[in-house]
Structure formats: structure tokens, C-alpha cells
Structure 1
Amino acid sequence: MYPAGDGPTVNDVLAAGQLVYTIDRQRLRLPPLTPAKLEQRMKTPPAGPVVPPRVTGLFSFYEGGGIGNTTPSMTLTLAELHGVLVSPRYSTRTKALREATVDTARKAIKKTLDYVTPAGVFSHRANAGVQSLSGLLVLDFDHLPDVNAAWAALMADELLAPGLAMLFTSPSGDGLKAIVWTDPEADHLGNFRGYADYLKAHYAHLGLVPDEAGKDLARACFVPHDPAAWLAPPPDASAAA
């Protein structure tokens, strides 16, 4: 495109924020959508008679009935989910779950928790029920040997940073849940495999190997109480400052 060799370099494009590396650092991808662009997409009317699910940044929330309830009660944004996580709403159930000494009791309590489907908005919790895509997926890390070390590694990784949207401790207290932005050019499974393969190659020693169930588009993510839950600032926050 620039035969004279005077065009922008890869470093120029990265510095300008026009593109970011994919998780395997082999390709470049579009950066996460800014809140303004998400709002614009949500307001843009569908074109044509058949339109694939749009990326909206919204996902379904399932309240009451635990995992047995497959009908969502509302849609949430990341900021709204973060507000729920840090509030005392689930503090009693989370405390009871973590203090339970019998595994069957822990599983029973966990099944009563409310949950979200981070990948999108669904008419019902099933892959066929997807109505719009959020552009997100959840990575579950269970039974970590050192939760704090795993947290620090995820936060410090420069390749993960552009895609890391939210991080919080799992309901059981011995794991983490990372909600990440996906590559808009790849499907859900391809995005999951990209993150999973990278994490397994670099952080298996910390237990950061995502639960394979995350490859399911309708993957449920239980909502605990975590006053330390981390939410990434908006991608355009620094530009607006």
C-alpha cells in the first residue's frame, strides 16, 4: 500500500491504538470497542432481512432459581455487573459457600446463585437462544494454588491487557473468573481457544488453564460477592482525560 516505504510502521499503528496484537502475537486485531461505539451499534437499525447477532456489550442476567432457571430476567453491562459484585447483595450466600466443610453442601449452595451469560443476550440459556453477542467471553480458573499470584500474573501480562475487561474471585474463593473482550474477526470457539492456548503455554504453573466449558457460547458465570472485583476503565478513558 506504501510502495515508497513511507507509510506507518506496525509500531506506529500500535502506538496510535488503531490495532492491537492478538493473544498469540501472530496477527493484529481491532481494539475493544469503546463505550461510544457500542452505543452507536446498539442504535444502528439492522440492515436487510437477515442480520447476524450484533456485538452490543450487553449480556443476560438470571435471577432466582439458580442454575435451574434458564430464563433471563434482565440485561446488564459490565459496569452494572461490577456494581452487583462489589455490593453486599450476595455476601451472605458467598460466605456460607466458602465456610461449608462438605463438598456436597458447597455444590448445593453454588447452584442457588444468580448468574450471567457473558457472551451475550439470550432468550433462554442455550446456544440456540442467542439474540445478540456481547463481544465478551468468560474464562474460569478453578482450584488455583495461589489466587493472588494468578491475579497478579493476569493483570501484568501485556498481551492480555487490551482484552481483559473484568477480574474477580470465584464464588468458592479458590478460583478466578476473567471476562475478556474477543476478536471480532473470530467466532466464540476460536476466541476461547486463542486465550486458552496462550494461558496454558505461559501460566499453567499457576493453574491458569481455563475450564473447557468456557467454549460453550451460553456458558453460565455465577455471581458472588467480591468487594475487590476489578473493572477495566473504558478504552477511551485516557483519551478523554
Structure 2
Amino acid sequence: MNAPPLAAALLAAGPDALRCLFTEALPTRAVLLANLAAGWPDADAATHGPALDALLAAGHLLPSVSTRGRYRLASEVFDGYESRKEAVIKPPAPAPAIEIEPERLAPPLFSYFRGPISNPTPHAAITPAQLHTVLISPRHRAQTEALRAAPVGSPQRAELKKGLDYVTPAGTFARRANDALAEPSGLLVLDFDHVRDLAAARAALLTDAELAPELVLLFTSPSGDGLKALVRTDPAAGHLDNFRAYAAYLGRTYGPLGLTPDEAGKDVARACFVPYAPDAWLAPAYARTA
């Protein structure tokens, strides 16, 4: 049996046949091949790899966003693609966020800088929980409200934004520069500008089965019409590769909602402004400050 017939046979057998290949949440290629061999012993072993490649090429299997070298089942293929597509364009009422079991790990650290943005010297190393506390506090309320009241595109608005405190989510830095990273945090920031429907976009990010487990912090941007998301990254991959993986997934899945991250996020020293954001959401696993 050559590759196309084996791949076709897997699909013809129905969704459960492909689900049987996933004996763990994000299997490696080796695990997929072993499960394929066990489930389809009559197929020539030489066709197993090409069959998986055919399923990947067709979009039935997808690379994991968060972990390089692992794969996931394309839920949109088997859970009703048309209804999912409609939900992306016109999302239903926001659903509860997927709750992640708290981890017993030291929280990641990244640098906090006092404004303005021209200040390159870090003030402190903080955790996601500490940033969340600042976001929901009234510390930057007056400046954020003044910024949003200023005319869009005006020098006044730009200066107010530049004056905000900021963080470098990718890690702690000796100074804010791509070549001055002291210790990576395992996080990156995704910046979504000019989002048409903030409520729908938040709901999509918080309930997406692939992305929600990687979300650490989500809040409205200083401008009031965008979102900022801090997400976990694959430690085996570089910052740029991680950014591209997230950007590709989000653009493909939630393009109609405007959830294509700002390309500037590819820089490891990317600054993330800290506004007043009483709607900020923090993943339960990161609620500890130390």
C-alpha cells in the first residue's frame, strides 16, 4: 500500500482512526509512527512516514504551536469546520477561560522599566503576577485615560504612550537591547493592534484549545483598541521561531478577528507598555508572585 491509499484509508475509517494515533496530547513523530504501525499492521512500514506527511500536507495533522517536534490533531477538520469557521467570523458569547492546573514551578522573571521608553535601564525584575497587580491598580489610570482621550495620531497621544512604564516579557535585561538579554523568561508578547471586536477576540484567545494553555497574561493595550498577550514559548526554539509559529497559527485561525500579531514582536527586547487595565486576565498557574 503506497502513501496516498494509506492516508485515504485512515481518513475513510473516520475520526476515531486518527484519534487512535494520539495516545498522548502532543505526540512526537516517532510516537505517531509507532501507533500507525500498531493500528495498521498490514500496511508496508515504508508507507507510514509518507502517509503522515500526506496528512500533514492536507492539514489533518498540525505541528504544535508551543512545542517543537510534536503534533496535534486538527480539530476543525473533525469537529465541524463550517460551524467553527462561522464562530471565528462571528464568535458566540464569551465562554469561560480554560483553567490550567497550577504548576509548582518558579514563576518566570522579566525586566520592568520606568517610563519613558527612552529609558534603557531596568528598574526591577518582576513576575507575571506582579505585572498583573500593576495593571489592575490605579497607578497608570490617569495617564491611560488621558492617552485614550487624545486625538488618534496626535503628538500628544504618542508622547503620553511613550511616557508609560514598560516591560520586556522575553526576560531580564542588562539594558533594553537585543544583545543585552541576561536571562530568558520563556515568554514572549503578542501585540494585536486595532482589533475590531475586543470582546470576541478575548473570548477566542481564552478558549482556544491550542492557545489557551500557553496564555499567561492578557490585557487591553494603552490605546484601548488592541490586546496584548504574554504567552509561553518552546524552550528548544529561538525567540524568532516561536514568534513565527504563533503568528502563523493566529493568522490562519483568527485572521477575521484581526488577531495577527505586530511583526515587531519578533525582537527579543520588544517593549510592552504597562497601562491601566482593570480587565487584565492572569492564568491561575502564574498567580504566585515568587
Q: How far apart are the structure 1 equivalents of 2:163 and 2:249?
A: 33
1:1-241 mapped onto 2 (5 Å cutoff): 11-14=22-25, 22-23=64-65, 27-28=69-70, 36-37=104-105, 39=106, 57-64=108-115, 66-103=116-153, 104-234=155-285
Deviation at 1:11, TM superposition (A): 4.6
More helix by share: 2
Tell me the matched-pair count: 204
Give the alignment's TM-score, normalised by structure 2: 0.65
The structure with the larger Rg is 2
> What whole-Å deviation, never above 9, does each CA across 1:80-105 have from its counterpart, x for those lacking one?
00000000000000000111125222
> What whole-Å deviation, never above 9, does each CA across 1:204-228 have from its counterpart, x for those lacking one?
1111000000000000000000111
The one-letter amino acid paired with 1:185 is A
Unmatched 5+ stretches in structure 1:
1-8, 16-20, 40-55
Give the alignment's TM-score, normalised by structure 1: 0.78
> What whole-Å deviation, never above 9, does each CA across 1:5-61 have from its counterpart, x for those lacking one?
xxxx7655339xxxxx722898438xx9x7533x3xxxxxxxxxxxxxxxx710000
SS at match of 1:121: strand
Q: Is the 8 A contact 1:196 1:210 kept in 2?
A: yes
Q: Is the 8 A contact 2:129 2:286 kept in 1?
A: no
67 and 235 in structure 1: CA distance in 2 versus 1, 3 angstrom threshold: closer
Q: Is the 8 A contact 2:112 2:126 kept in 1?
A: yes
Q: Is the 8 A contact 1:24 1:198 kept in 2?
A: no
> What whole-Å deviation, never above 9, does each CA across 1:187-212 have from its counterpart, x for those lacking one?
10010000000001111111100000
Deviation at 1:147, TM superposition (A): 1.1
The one-letter amino acid paired with 1:232 is A
Q: How far apart are the structure 1 equivalents of 2:239 and 2:201?
A: 24
Which stretch shows the higher mean deviation, 147-156 or 209-218?
147-156
SS at match of 1:67: coil
Answer 1 or 2: higher relative contact order, Cα 8 Å, separation at least 6: 1
Unmatched 5+ stretches in structure 2:
1-19, 27-62, 72-99
